[in-house]
Structure 1
Amino acid sequence: MIKLIDKILSRKRAVIESVNDHLKNLCKIEHSRHRSVFNFLVNLMPDLAAYT
């Protein structure tokens, strides 16, 4: 049986992921799994440059 808190968090996660997916599609940004903050920033710069 799933605990109440797990159920609540699962719903919140679904909403957050849905919003993130919508924003990604709206800005046409690809999602990649970053393993470090530096890698995230390196991948973010071209996306921001392309958006502007």
Structure 2
Amino acid sequence: MPKRDDDYMAARRDEILDAATVCFLRTGLAGASTTAICKEAGISMGALYT
């Protein structure tokens, strides 16, 4: 498996953080979930931790 580019990983991290922000604003910190964040970001649960 090829190593991912640092720029790609930084962009992916920013997308996840943006999705998390949307979820937090929509449901509050206590109401947000990793499932909702993944859905908002359009990624799988496994990709969240990669």
Pick the structure with greater CA Rg.
1
Give the number of the structure with larger relative contact order, counting CA–CA contacts within 8 Å between residues 6 or more apart.
2
Higher helix share: 1
